[in-house]
């Protein structure tokens, strides 16, 4: 039976980046991925450039657009434009390219991948994981990373993350051409989708469009309305093929590690419950998961608790406010749009959120402060 320092379940963005971080430190890693090939992910690819610090890899070739403006609209009008000045802090990456780069680099540093293979059983024996797989082989590892995404089967099995996960209902599609979206802008369209919004993020030659509902488990079943929203981005033809995905979103601060096991990315319910930002928490969690496992392996310890603490401080505290903001904004979107997006200082704040310079916690504190001091900040 082959033994690895770490086995990772799921070879998406989170699993591959955890593998890369660990194998670059010299550890043996096996990724077990259930799909045969890297499928196109239903993801618009928007990412704060500051995330580069969490990846030991140059991924320039996966960046397709550098965004200078963020447009907000209410039912195709009442525009607000936020200027993302400075060093293009928000990028659009082509996910299939990005994921492949990550995986290839992890393999280059010695990680191995089994695909298409499913994990069937996990047993803990003498401080080691015994992993039985659908290829009838069994593998051993000292540590285990759960990175099996939104439909995670294993996070719940190990009691990692919320007991009752919450989901956003989303639709994703990619259309040829950019419609009416400038190549250096992204658009957030509010008002059409109840309890959510629509977004359009440009790649070089095509547009990633997404629709999502974030509260009340509202399905996106009004096809005529969905088509109208998609067409509002400047497309005449309505013969588009859409992908539906239930995206696991943040739902409270919970333990993300157990004894010798850690959950990362979507499987850990880290995705932003207001704007569906999941790349950033996937990269942050995979980075700190690798750091925690490294500390254990190099000091012969098993305690991964500092991982959950770091994720609570670095991400969870901000998301707690993100969830509150989502609950209010999506219930009263018109008021939210007028008071939140159309404020004089909003464009600057929005730019700071997208670039990762500011979290929802900072925004909330400013609002509370403003209410207390009646300042216009």
Ligand X SMILES: Cc1cc2nc3c(=O)[nH]c(=O)nc-3n(C[C@H](O)[C@H](O)[C@H](O)COP(=O)(O)OP(=O)(O)OC[C@H]3O[C@@H](n4cnc5c(N)ncnc54)[C@H](O)[C@@H]3O)c2cc1C
Q: In what order do the strands lie in the sheet with 63-67?
A: 46-48, 90-93, 63-67
Q: Tell me the closest approach of the beta carbon of residue 160 to ligand X, in angstroms.
A: 13
Q: Tell me the closest approach of the beta carbon of residue 343 to ligand X, in angstroms.
A: 24
Helix 13-24 and helix 95-108, axial crossing angle in degrees, nearest 10: 30
First to last CA, the chain: 62
Question: What residues line the site for ligand X (CB under 6 A)?
Answer: 9-15, 32-35, 41-47, 118-119, 147-150, 153, 170, 172, 201, 210, 245, 247, 265-267, 271, 276-280, 282
Q: Tell me the closest approach of the beta carbon of residue 59 to ligand X, in angstroms.
A: 14
Residue 229 to residue 223: CA distance in whole angstroms: 10
Q: Tell me the closest approach of the beta carbon of residue 94 to ligand X, in angstroms.
A: 11
Indicate the residue among 69 and 127 with the shorter CB distance to ligand X.
69
Query: Please, where are the H alpha helices in 312-359?
Result: 317-331, 333-336, 346-354
Closest residue to ligand X, based on beta-carbon distance: 278
Indicate the residue among 32 and 290 with the shorter CB distance to ligand X.
32
Q: Tell me the closest approach of the beta carbon of residue 280 to ligand X, in angstroms.
A: 6
Indicate the residue among 40 and 339 with the shorter CB distance to ligand X.
40
149 alpha carbon, distance to own chain's centre: 10
Indicate the residue among 50 and 343 with the shorter CB distance to ligand X.
50
Q: Tell me the closest approach of the beta carbon of residue 271 to ligand X, in angstroms.
A: 5
Strands 46-48 and 90-93: antiparallel
Indicate the residue among 198 and 363 with the shorter CB distance to ligand X.
198
User: If you count DSSP H runs as helices and E runs as strands, how many of each does the chain have, helices first?
Assistant: 10, 18
Residue 87 to residue 327: CA distance in whole angstroms: 33
Indicate the residue among 5 and 272 with the shorter CB distance to ligand X.
272
Task: Identify the residue whose tokens are 């799921």.
Answer: 10
Q: In terms of Cα–Cα distance, which of 215, 191, 211, 190 is closest to 201?
A: 211
């Amino acid at each position: 039976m082959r033994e690895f320092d770490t086995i990772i379940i799921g070879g998406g963005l989170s699993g591959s980046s955890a593998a890369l971080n660990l194998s670059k430190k010299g550890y043996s890693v096996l990724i077990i991925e259930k799909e045969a090939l890297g499928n196109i992910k239903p993801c618009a690819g928007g990412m704060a450039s500051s995330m580069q610090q969490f990846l030991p890899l140059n991924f320039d070739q996966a960046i397709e657009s550098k965004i200078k403006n963020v447009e907000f609209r209410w039912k195709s009008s009442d525009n607000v434009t936020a200027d993302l000045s400075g060093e293009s802090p928000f990028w659009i990456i082509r996910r299939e390219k990005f994921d492949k780069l990550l995986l290839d680099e992890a393999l280059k540093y010695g990680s191995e991948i089994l695909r298409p293979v499913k994990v069937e059983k996990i047993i803990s024996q003498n401080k080691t994981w015994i992993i039985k797989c659908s290829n009838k082989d069994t593998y051993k590892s000292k540590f285990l990373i759960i990175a099996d995404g939104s439909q995670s089967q294993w996070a719940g099995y190990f009691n990692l993350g919320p007991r009752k996960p919450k989901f956003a209902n989303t639709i994703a599609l990619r259309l040829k051409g950019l419609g009416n979206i400038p190549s250096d802008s992204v658009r957030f369209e509010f008002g059409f989708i109840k309890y959510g919004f629509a977004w359009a993020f440009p790649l070089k030659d095509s547009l990633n469009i997404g629709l999502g509902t974030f509260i009340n488990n509202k399905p996106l079943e009004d096809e005529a309305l969905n088509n109208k929203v998609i067409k509002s981005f400047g497309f005449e033809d309505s013969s588009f093929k859409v992908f539906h995905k239930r995206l696991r979103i943040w739902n409270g601060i919970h333990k993300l590690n157990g004894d010798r096991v850690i959950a990362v990315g979507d499987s850990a319910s880290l995705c932003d419950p207001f704007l569906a930002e999941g790349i950033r928490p996937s990269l942050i969690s995979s980075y700190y998961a690798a750091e925690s496992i490294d500390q254990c392996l190099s000091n012969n310890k098993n305690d991964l608790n500092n991982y959950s603490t770091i994720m609570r401080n670095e991400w969870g505290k901000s998301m707690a406010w993100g969830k509150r903001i989502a609950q209010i904004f999506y219930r009263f979107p018109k008021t939210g749009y007028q008071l939140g997006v159309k404020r004089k200082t909003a464009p600057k704040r929005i730019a700071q959120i997208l670039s990762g310079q500011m979290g929802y916690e900072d925004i909330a504190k400013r609002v509370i402060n403003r209410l207390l001091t009646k300042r216009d900040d």
